Amino acid sequence: MRTLVLYFSKTGNTKKYAEEIAMATHADLLPAPKFKPKMIKDYDTIVFGGWVMANKIQGLDEFLRYYEDMKDKNIIIFSVGMSIVSPEMRKELISTNILDLYHVRYYQLRGSFDFNKLGFVHRMLMNRTIAIMQAKENPDASQAAIAQLRDTPIIVHDQPGIDKIVSVIHKLDAIAATPIAEA
């Protein structure tokens, strides 16, 4: 069974996770902007990983534009953000990205955040978010953590998340290799 892993990454976390998933499953690997719909026919499973900005999975809308052409494929989507992985955050990401409209498998992974790796535009956006959090009188734990982000990078390697996706791809491979029993 052939698998393609696509990724959309700004500072390298999603790219690294995509590389590890592709390596462990002997999949082809491609930056999402290089993906062409004519490639779909060559694969049984297509994985898309995108980084998260303001709860939106970057590059996902462009990828799902080809959903109708991929309906008979296994589609796996993973997001990479600094938020802690939880059922509540997963639900929020599904809702913000309208993922329940599609027949896909979705995984929320946690990635690193380093203010110093950002370009001008994203620094400005983060500065604004940090200023809002710092101005809060009674910030909750996650708001207080955001206010510290300029000085304290978050360094995470979500190995359990990667392992989960790899094991799902292996299971899909095994299912595809099992002959259908005759009645």
Smallest distance from ligand FMN to CB 21, Å: 13
Smallest distance from ligand FMN to CB 148, Å: 14
Q: CA-CA distance, 139 to 146, in Å (whole number)? A: 10
Q: CA-CA distance, 26 to 19, in Å (whole number)? A: 10
Q: Give the residues lining the site for ligand FMN (CB under 6 A).
A: 9-15, 51-55, 80-83, 111-113, 118, 122, 125-126
- With respect to ligand FMN, which residue has the nearer C-beta, 10 or 73? 10
Smallest distance from ligand FMN to CB 17, Å: 8
Q: CA-CA distance, 122 to 110, in Å (whole number)? A: 19
- With respect to ligand FMN, which residue has the nearer C-beta, 32 or 172? 32
For residue 50, what are the contacts with CB-CB under 8 A and spacing of at least 6? 7, 8, 9, 14, 32, 57, 58, 59, 60, 63, 77, 78, 79, 80
Residues 65, 37 contacting (CB under 8 angstroms): no
- With respect to ligand FMN, which residue has the nearer C-beta, 57 or 104? 57
- With respect to ligand FMN, which residue has the nearer C-beta, 43 or 113? 113
Smallest distance from ligand FMN to CB 133, Å: 12
